[in-house]
Amino acid sequence: MSHQELPGTAAELASDGAAKAESEQETNDRRFHASVAALEDAIMDDDFRARVAAFSAKNCDSFDPAEGSGEFKLEWTELFTEYSSMMEGHLAAALEAAVDDFDMGWFMSELEARADDGAVDGEVFDVLLSLGDFEDFVSTMQSHFLEKAAASAAESGGGEELGALLSATAMAGLAPTVASFSPPQAADEAQEPSGDAHE
């Protein structure tokens, strides 16, 4: 009789195990999506973005691509440490406040595992990846430097200076960042008929 009960018992155990695994996966999914929502809110927070913008504006003058000849300055390392501390502190505090028993290690492993699922906004994912990337930080700060310098040149009408900045930007591989800044005269000159020069 006991032998006849075993198949039923095994089936029940398998069913219970499957239900438990499904329940754990659902809980894991809910926890992950809650963490993503909290992370997106933290990154899009106006006060936080203002702090990041202020940090960039204050420190980007130290990241002139024309200086250093490809070598990293000690000052850049110090600023990177300061920037990373500011970013990580804000994000960790926001996530811990929004998600019970939040675990950053677990969340980062989940992000990597779900990278192709589209569960995380591209900008948010880029921010996370950049937190520990020194070269990405330097490139971003150099872009801010060139944007600031190009905007200043455009406002003052310094066409030659702006052209030099755009050339430096292209050489640094950062051209898309400042492509929208062009000398005020460029558009008018481009519209002149090419045959005028021969009249």
pLDDT over 70 (residue 169): no
Q: What is the pLDDT of residues 59-74, one digit of tens each?
A: 999 998 887 556 788 8
What pTM was computed for the model? 0.62
* Alpha carbon separation from 123 to 9, 77, 130, 138 (Å, rounded): 50, 24, 11, 18
pLDDT at 45 over 80: yes
79-128 residue pLDDT tens: 999 999 999 899 889 999 988 888 888 888 888 887 777 767 777 777 77
Contacts 24+ apart (CB under 8 A), 169-177: 169/65, 171/65, 172/65, 172/142, 172/146, 173/139, 174/65, 174/139, 174/142, 174/143, 174/146, 177/143, 177/146, 177/147
pLDDT beyond 60 at 172: no
